[in-house]
Homo-oligomer: A and B are copies of this chain.
């Protein structure tokens, strides 16, 4: 592991390999948190070599501070790799705080800790628990998986947001009718239930389909299910 990359050692985030970012495609962003600056440096170097974008923090607090101020809409697969044993806010504490704000996959690492720490970490939803001394292969493999999970979550979230956005453009009637159509009700039946004219139902049905981006009714059924309109 070369240590050529420049990075801050005391809490300030640093992106390693920014030049590379423009050249090669980045595989994802890894946030490393450890109070041992040597480990921080080594991990940063290793991750940079593997073409990951990497931010390092010497304490959980330092990360939490920056985290809140980050511009949202960050569509890069990311994960947090955090040491368990740290002063003030330890890894498990960070985990519980992050889980409330974020769904970024978390990898915890620890030295001589016993089973209880590992168990707590997993129960709280940690994706993996790495035991120091770290093995590069195991670490990189864990990062790979975490980023894959992150990418999948982001993909899903984006899709949900997109869908929710489209649903939000529906008027009350359009929404009502889209629901009933997705349930398989016929236009005449809907018209009767809502006490409106058949022509009206057809019109809104058509508009709802347009707004939802559904070419055929089958699409609307799927979108309605996915968007929770059923």
Contact = CB atoms under 8 A, between A and B. Distances in A.
Contact of A118 (B122, B183, B218): B122
Number of copies: 2
Interface in A83-133: 110, 113-119, 122-123, 128-129, 131
A184 B218 contact: yes
A182 interface: yes
Interface in A181-197: 181-185
A interface bracket (residues with beta carbon within 8 Å of B) = 20 to 34
- In terms of DSSP, what is the predominant structure of the interface of chain A? helix
A225 interface: yes
Given A114-B115, A115-B115, A217-B218, 11 more contacts: A110-B115, A113-B115, A118-B122, A118-B129, A122-B122, A122-B129, A184-B215, A184-B218, A184-B219, A217-B217, A221-B221
Interface string A186-230: 000000000000000000000000000001111101100100000
A135 to B, nearest CB: 12
Contacts of A183: 218
Interface of A: 110, 113-119, 122-123, 128-129, 131, 181-185, 215-219, 221-222, 225
Contacts of A115: 110, 113-115, 117-118, 129, 131
Nearest to A122: B122
A133 to B, nearest CB: 13
A118 B119 CA distance: 6
A221 B219 CA distance: 9
A118 B185 CA distance: 52
Looking at A131, A221, A225, the one whose CB has the most chain B CB atoms below 10 A away is A221
